[in-house]
Each structure stands twice: as structure tokens, then as C-alpha cells.
Amino acid sequence: MTGFAAYLVFFLIVALTYSIVVMGLNIQWGYTGLFNAGVVGFFAIGAYGTAILVGPDRAHLIGGFGLPFPIAVLGGMALCALAALIVGLATLRLREEYLAIATFGIAISIQLVALNFESLTGGAQGLVGLPRPLFGLFDSPASYNLFYLGVVAVMAGLVYWALETAVRSPWGRLLKAVREDETAARSLGRNPARVRLEVFVLGCVLMGLAGGLYVGFIGYVSPLDFLPILTFQIWAMLIVGGSGNNRGAIVGAVGVWALWAMSGLAISRLLPVAYQSQGGAIQVILIGLLIVLTLIFRPRGLIGEAESVSKHAD
């Protein structure tokens, strides 16, 4: 493969991994109106959970269970569910903002654990040398990456299919009902708090799945992969693509990640070395502007939510 094709494969693996996170956020925000401000925290729990379960035995570290990759990913997802339950039970019966604040808090706390609990997470160095699933079967890294792109694409496709099926089911209509008019939903005998909790846990578990896939691809975890900016990037992907629409979530993930990668490239080419740290700031400013301007001028995003009208309406 030429350099460009190899880069494209690499780019798509990361973009599709993020698209799973964005779809998880979409079921929370787009369909149910839950504001998760700690996306990166759940992504990190999935990644670290997977890394600890899949990693080889190391004398100075807790963990090293050497479990098969799929089981390790499931373990990471289970940890995400637990964290989501703890936060959700405390906040989902309160005003919506409280969920935003609490999830923001859990992301910060996860980052602190990643940095400070060295015997579990490897601290600032992270956990390196994690086995990549089925790596031995391939003769070159390039062909392995192509295989992994297939894995991530299939997983993203499965998540898309499952979510589409879910939101078209009666349960899916219930989500929008809770988002639009909670009182009406309650008067029909539904329990909005319970629905919110279900959706919140489901979305966070998907973020954890993406974290696990990310670990399988890069083969290590380090706190630097889970900086708070990722939460903003994921949000920008959802808003730009169009919340309330799973295709929009995927389009937004690929589009915004492309914009991020290209602006980073442009800045590293154009700016003198002395100003490179400022270049990072410009990249983040682009994300901030993207968020604010889309909200003001195109709140529905690129694709946007489909109008849902009852078939009994005229």
C-alpha cells in the first residue's frame, strides 16, 4: 500500500471507532435529551478496563489477566455500565444540568485515577505492549490494519443496525416521548426516570466498547489518549452530523475527524516550530467555533433528525 492508502486505513479505523462513541452519545442526547459531558471518561474506562483484563502478567502491576480480547472488551463495557449507574442514579431524577455536571466530574476523576493509580493503570506511562487480537495471523502491519478496519467497520455497522432497530421499536418512540414531553410520557404509565437510566447506561456502554476497540488497535493505553478535548470533539461530531440521526453521527465522526487531522497537518506545515503549541490552540478554537456556530446557524446539523409524523395524522 502506498503511504496515502495506509494513512487512509489508519484514519478510518480511528474515525469509525469514534463513530461508535458518537452513536452512543446520540442515543443519549439526540434521542433522549441527556447531556453527557464526560464522554471521554467512559471511553477511557472501556479502554483501561480492556487493557487491564487483556494485558500480560507483570510483577509490578495489578491485573495482567491475559484474557481473550472479546471478553476483555466486555469487561470494560461492564465497568462503564457500573460507572453510568452510579452517576445516573444520583442525577437522572434531577434537573438535566446535574447530569452534565456529574458526568464532567466523573471524566476528571477517571483521568486522575489513570494518572495516579500507577499499580493499576501504569500512571503517566500507561500500559504498553498489550496483545493485539489475531496479530500473529498477518504477515505485515499494513494487512493487519486492513483487517482491523474490517473489524471496526463491522462493529460500527452492528451498533448502527442495533440502534436503528431499537429507535424504531416502541421503546425508541418512548425515548422521544420522554425527551419531548415527560409529563405526557408519565401519564401514559411510563417511568421517565427509568427510561433515562436505561438509555444513559446503554450509551455509556457503547462508549466503553469503542474504548476497547481503540486499545485493540493501538496496543497500549496512556492518559494522553483521553484528554478532555476528546469530549468536545465527540460532541462537535454529533452536532455537526445532526443529532437524532445515526447516519448523521457517522458522517459527523468522519467529517470532524478529517477536519481535525487536516487542520493539524496544515498548522504543522505552516507555523514555525516555535509556535507549534499555539497551533494546538487554533485546532481547539476551530472545534469550539464549529460547536457554537452550528448551534446558532444550523442546529439540525448536516443531516438532522427525520421528521416523525404519526401515520394517523393528515
CB of 42 to another protein, least distance (A): 15
CA distances to 88, 140, 262, 283 from 267, rounded to whole Å, are 40, 32, 9, 8
253 closest CA partner among 168, 50, 261: 261
Q: If binding is defined by CB under 8 A, does position 150 make contact with another protein?
A: no
Nearer to another protein, 108 or 166 (CB): 108
Check residue 181 for interaction with another protein (CB under 8 A). Answer: no
Q: Which of 232, 234, 252, 301 binds another protein (CB under 8 A)?
A: 232
Distance from C-alpha of 20 to C-alpha of 250, rounded to nearest angstrom = 8
Q: Which stretch binds another protein (CB under 8 A): 16-24, 47-55, 231-239, 306-314?
A: 231-239
If binding is defined by CB under 8 A, does position 308 make contact with another protein? Answer: no
Q: Is 262 in the site for another protein (CB under 8 A)?
A: no
Please select the residue that binds another protein; options are 235, 237, 246, 260, rule is CB under 8 A: 235
Least Cβ distance, residue 234 to another protein (angstroms): 12
Q: Which helix H or strand E contains 136, and what residues bound it?
A: none
CB of 21 to another protein, least distance (A): 16
Closest C-alpha to 222, from 132, 129, 142, 144: 129
Q: What angle do CA 95, 177, 31 make, to 5 degrees?
A: 75
For the bound state, the minimum distance from the C-beta of residue 31 to another protein, rounded and expressed in Å, comes to: 12
Say if CB 19 and CB 254 are below 8 A apart.
Answer: yes
CB 118, min distance to another protein, A: 10
104-133 binders of another protein (CB under 8 A):
104-106, 108-109, 112-113, 115-116
> Which CB, 80 or 130, lies closer to another protein?
80
Per DSSP, the residues of 95-116 read -THHHHHHHHHHHHHHHHHHHH
Query: Residue 49: exposed, middle, or buried by beta-carbon count in 10 A (0-12, 13-18, 19+)?
Result: buried
- Cα–Cα distances in Å, from 17 out to 93, 251, 306? 31, 13, 25
Q: Which is nearer to another protein, 60 or 312 (CB)?
A: 60
Nearest to 264 by CA among 221, 291, 233: 233
Q: Does 250 bind another protein (CB under 8 A)?
A: no
Binding site for another protein (CB under 8 A): 33, 35, 37, 86-87, 89-91, 94-98, 100-102, 104-106, 108-109, 112-113, 115-116, 179, 182, 228-229, 232, 235, 239, 277-278, 281-282, 284-285, 287-289, 291-292, 295-296, 299
